[in-house]
Structure 1
Amino acid sequence: MTSSGDSGGQPGVLPAGPADERDEPLLAVNNIEVIYDEVILVLRGMSLEVPRGAIVAMLGSNGAGKSTTLKAISGLLPTEHGEITDGSITFAGADVTTMDAADRVRKGMSLCMEGRRVFEHLTVRENLVAGSYTRGRIGDSDLDIVYTYFPRLHDLRGRTAGYLSGGEQQMLAIGRAMMAEPTLLMLDEPSLGLAPLLVQEIFGYIARLNDELGTTVLVVEQNASRALQIAHHGYVMEQGRIVLDGSAAELRENPDVKEFYLGLGDEGGRKNYREVKHYKRRKRWL
Structure 2
Amino acid sequence: MAGKIDAVDLLAVENLEVVYNDVALTLKGLSLRAGQGGITALLGANGAGKSTTLKAISGLLAGEDGAVTDGRIVFDGAPINHLPPERIVRLGVFQVMEGRRVFEDMSVEDNLRCGGVTRPAGEFKTGVERVYDYFPRLKERRQQLAGYMSGGEQQMLAIGRALIAKPRLLLLDEPSLGLAPLLVEEIFDIIRRINRDDGVTILLVEQNARAALGIADVGFIMENGRIVLDGTSAELLGNPDVQEFYLGLSHGGEKRRYRDVKHYRRRKRWLG
- Settle same-fold status: TM greater than 0.5: yes
Determine the structure 2 residue equivalent to 1:106: 90
Give deviations 1:244-282, integer Å, cap 9, x for gaps.
0000000000000001101111242246267325414xx
The structure 2 residue matched to 1:169, chosen from 146, 149, 154, is 154
2:194 partner letter: L
The structure 2 residue matched to 1:88, chosen from 47, 59, 72, is 72
Determine the structure 1 residue equivalent to 2:127: 142
Give deviations 1:41-81, integer Å, cap 9, x for gaps.
00000000000000000000000000000000000000000
Superposition deviation, residue 143 in structure 1: 0.8
Cα–Cα, structure 1 residues 266 and 273, in superposed 2: closer, same or farther, change >3 Å? closer
The structure 2 residue matched to 1:279, chosen from 243, 267, 270, is 267
The structure 2 residue matched to 1:130, chosen from 67, 92, 114, is 114
C-alpha contact 2:118 2:165 (8 A) present in aligned 1: yes
C-alpha contact 2:248 2:261 (8 A) present in aligned 1: no
Taking the aligned partners of 2:237 and 2:209, their CA distance within structure 1 comes to 9
Taking the aligned partners of 2:240 and 2:113, their CA distance within structure 1 comes to 45
The alignment covers a number of residue pairs equal to: 264
Taking the aligned partners of 2:271 and 2:10, their CA distance within structure 1 comes to 27
C-alpha contact 1:22 1:52 (8 A) present in aligned 2: no
Cα–Cα, structure 1 residues 42 and 250, in superposed 2: closer, same or farther, change >3 Å? same
Give % identity: 55
Determine the structure 2 residue equivalent to 1:257: 242
SS in 2 for 1:144: helix
Determine the structure 1 residue equivalent to 2:142: 157
Structure 1 residues 1-286: aligned runs within 5 Å = 23-137=7-121, 138-267=123-252, 268=254, 269-270=256-257, 272=260, 275-276=263-264, 278-280=266-268, 283-285=269-271
1:71 partner letter: K
Taking the aligned partners of 1:225 and 1:168, their CA distance within structure 2 comes to 22
SS in 1 for 2:267: helix
Which has the larger displacement, 54-63 or 138-147?
Answer: 138-147
Taking the aligned partners of 1:254 and 1:273, their CA distance within structure 2 comes to 16
Cα–Cα, structure 1 residues 34 and 128, in superposed 2: closer, same or farther, change >3 Å? same
Superposition deviation, residue 285 in structure 1: 4.3
2:150 partner letter: S
Unaligned ranges ≥5, structure 1: 1-20
2:89 partner letter: V
Give deviations 1:141-165, integer Å, cap 9, x for gaps.
1111111111111111000000000
SS in 2 for 1:171: helix
Unaligned ranges ≥5, structure 2: none
Which 4+ stretches in 1 moved above 3 angstroms?
none
Aligned alpha-carbon RMSD (Å): 1.5
Taking the aligned partners of 2:270 and 2:86, their CA distance within structure 1 comes to 40
C-alpha contact 1:57 1:231 (8 A) present in aligned 2: yes
C-alpha contact 2:244 2:261 (8 A) present in aligned 1: no
Normalising by structure 2, we get a TM-score of 0.94
2:264 partner letter: V
SS in 2 for 1:122: coil
1:279 partner letter: R
Normalising by structure 1, we get a TM-score of 0.89
Cα–Cα, structure 1 residues 85 and 92, in superposed 2: closer, same or farther, change >3 Å? same
Taking the aligned partners of 1:152 and 1:277, their CA distance within structure 2 comes to 41
Give deviations 1:93-137, integer Å, cap 9, x for gaps.
111011010111100001000000000000000000000112242
Superposition deviation, residue 212 in structure 1: 0.7
C-alpha contact 1:244 1:285 (8 A) present in aligned 2: no
